[in-house]
Structure 1
Amino acid sequence: MARFDEELARLWPEEDREGPLGLAVSGGPDSLALLLLAHEALPGGIAAASVDHGLRAEAPGEVALVEAACRERGIPFSPLAVAVPRGNLQARAREARYAALSRWARDIGCGALATAHHADDQAETLLMRLARGSGLSGLAGVRAYGTVPGTDIPLVRPLLGWRKADLEGIVEACGLEAARDPTNEDLAFDRARVRRHLAENDWLAPDALAASAGHLAEAWRAIEWYAQIDWEEMVLCEGEGPDGPVWRYYANVPRVIQVETVRRIVAELGGQVTRSEAGRAADRLWRGENASLGGVLVVPGIERVEKIGVEMRVWRFRPEPARRVH
């Protein structure tokens, strides 16, 4: 289908293609449609994998369904089994799934990995994150392009502009019967409740919500670009102090940029903090108060920069001193 070809070429240009396009296929209508569209667009140039999370009795049958669809079309297929740790079930399952897909994609030399996220998924994600008070990074939703976790393999989502009903129609037209995951209708999960709400309120148009998420993603890319400039021009490692490296940051940009730069400096010093934690620290520093986060002590000050002849806020980051034990 020309529409799919165009979107895939935008996300994964032909001149960049080395190795097959890996597909994450669950057996649901969305991922089966991805399988069919990719097979038509790249005959002989795709491979598929299906993940069994070990959480539902139906899962092995769904993997077998995908394997049969691939065998019929001569598509290389790999079943992947994972163990999901305790905790937030959906979040832990996602982490385990992507870890397995990362290993598989690297092992078979995929040029890129594609997932079947679509416009309805994007709309649900945006509403869920709005309800949680997410920042711009979260509201940008599911990204059309990224990298497979733990690798430099491109991760592409060429179906973000497609509605779920369109994808179901493609599968039905090919005579395939897709698997149905009952947890998609389980109102114990936030996403299922949001999905029900969208179905019951037709004034909430999923394609319009998905478009808004796309606009927010463009805004976030602009912030990432500005944050990179802030890093390159306003951050300097001054050398070693008594407890480790000391980093200097001329913090005179909007707060949203400060947050990204603070997180990056803390990471350089071996720590890890969320955007919320970095934001609270930036607020303290802006008021002239010390901040401590991720094992890093930050001390604010104001210094005159002779090169440009103005005074600027300067925040110095260093590892927190080891606590003395008496």
Structure 2
Amino acid sequence: MGRIGLAISGGPDSLALLLLAKANLPDIVAATVDHGLRPEAADEARFVGKICADLGVDHSILTLADRPVGNPSSWARQARYHALDDWGTAKKISWLLTAHHADDQLETLLMRLNRGSGVAGLAGIRAQNKTVARPLLNWRKAELEALVAQAGLLAVDDPSNRDARYDRARMRAALSKADWLDPVAAARSASALASADAALDWTTQQLFDQRAEMGTDRITLAAGDLPYELQRRLLIACLQALNPAAAPRDDEVMRLLASLNTGQTATLAGIKCSGGAQWTFQPAPPPRTISRNS
């Protein structure tokens, strides 16, 4: 298994992860990210360090130097994982564990359902993603809080978790009044959708290998007889094969599919896409420039 890294914020969820990992794993190290967004954050990180020291767990504080650009919540998440990735490389960890739980999964599922997400989005928080694993997705938050209380630990309280400016905080507040919803059942549904998404990805790759004819800067594909979802995934695969940076929005993909299925030609992500019995993809020519004589 190798060395395991733990992302520990000091909240009840991550402290429970720390306790469970200490009791069950032979070689663990922990890190706390100080995003610099709250004046209390530095003291909280040192507080976690003391708990880790008492447990005999190596602990690092990762301080983010950059300030947020755009959405602070989105920036914090991306910057946190980048810092943890660098730390994990330095510590030679095999896996990074985070403390996402069933209540987090229910929040994510409902938020994405409200945004009209497809199979991939409704799969929610993945149990495993590259070298990040989330072993607590079938645990309720209340169970984790009870574990921490039983150990006599006082968890950090992050007020941003209740800040109504953020979608997740508003969803969390709404769910606190809906105790008839079962987060563990929602976690099972998300897991089933993750399996379905993986199966669709596998099928897409098989179809791409069987049907895509690769030329020099050109792909030809017979996809008109396939279900919409497989067409959608194959279309994205073709775009990214020619332009690895392509990240089209869902609405752009929908419009392009409509064009291809009616034999039309359109351009997306710098790729000229032509419909018909065979779909063809090739780099779009550069835009024409008009010169003026002085």
Q: Is the 8 A contact 1:144 1:160 kept in 2?
A: yes
**Matching residue's letter, 1:235:** A
Distance 1:230 1:275, change over 3 A: farther
- 1:218-269: CA deviation from partner (whole Å, max 9, x where unpaired): 2111111111112211222122xxxxx0111221322212222222221222
User: Alignment partner of 1:272: what SS?
Assistant: coil
1:155-199 per-position Cα deviation (integer Å, ceiling 9, x unaligned): 110000000000011111111111011011112211111111111
Amino acid in structure 1 at the alignment position of 2:247: V
CA distance in 1, matches of 2:232, 2:116: 17
5 Å-filtered alignment, 1:94-173, equals 94-147=77-130, 154-173=131-150
AA at the equivalent of 1:257 = L
Return the alpha-carbon distance in structure 2 between the equivalents of residues 274 and 325 of structure 1: 26
Please point out which of 280, 284, 307 is paired with 2:255: 280
CA separation in 2, counterparts of 1:66 and 1:231? 49
Match of 1:248 in 2: 220
Q: Secondary structure at the match of 2:289?
A: coil
Output aligned runs, 1:74-93, within 5 Å: 74-82=56-64, 83-93=66-76
Counterpart CA distance in 2 for 1:250 and 1:256 is: 15
- Tell me how far apart the structure 1 counterparts of residues 239 and 90 of structure 2 sit (CA, whole Å): 33
Amino acid at match of 1:114: L
TM-score between the two structures when normalised by the length of structure 1: 0.84
Q: Is residue 48 of structure 1 aligned with residue 12 of structure 2?
A: no
Match of 2:187 among 199, 210, 218: 210
- Taking the aligned partners of 1:84 and 1:206, their CA distance within structure 2 comes to 34
Give the deviation of 1:121 after TM superposition. Answer: 0.1
**Equivalent position SS for 2:99:** coil
**TM-score, normalised relative to structure 2:** 0.93
Aligned to 2:169: 192
- Partner of 2:78, secondary structure, is helix
Could you report, residue by residue, the CA deviation over 1:268-315 in whole angstroms, capped at 9, with x for unpaired residues?
22241235022331222112111211111111122xxxxxxxxxxx11
Q: Percent identity?
A: 45
Instruction: Say which SS state the counterpart of residue 78 (structure 1) adopts.
Output: strand
* 2:219–2:281 CA contact under 8 A, matched in 1: yes
Which string of whole-angstrom CA distances, capped at 9 and with x for unpartnered residues, describes residues 119-166 of structure 1? Answer: 00000000111111111111110000111xxxxxx2110000000000
2:271 equivalent to 1:296: yes
Residue among 21, 42, 45 paired with 2:4: 21
Alignment size in residue pairs: 286
4+ long deviations beyond 3 Å: none
Where does structure 1 lack aligned partners over 5 or more consecutive residues?
1-16, 148-153, 240-244, 303-313
- In 2, the alpha carbon distance for the partners of 1:262 and 1:218 equals 21
Q: Give the match for residue 325 of structure 1.
A: 289
Q: Say whether 1:225 aligns with 2:202.
A: yes
Distance 1:205 1:172 in 2: 23
- 1:18-51 per-position Cα deviation (integer Å, ceiling 9, x unaligned): x3111111110001111110111113x1111111
Query: What is the distance in 2 between the residues matched to 1:21 and 1:248?
Result: 45
Whether contact under 8 Å (1:246, 1:318) holds in the other structure is yes
2:236 and 2:121 mapped to 1: Cα distance? Answer: 16
Equivalents in 1 of 2:108, 2:77: separation in Å?
Answer: 14
DSSP 3-state at the match of 2:81: helix
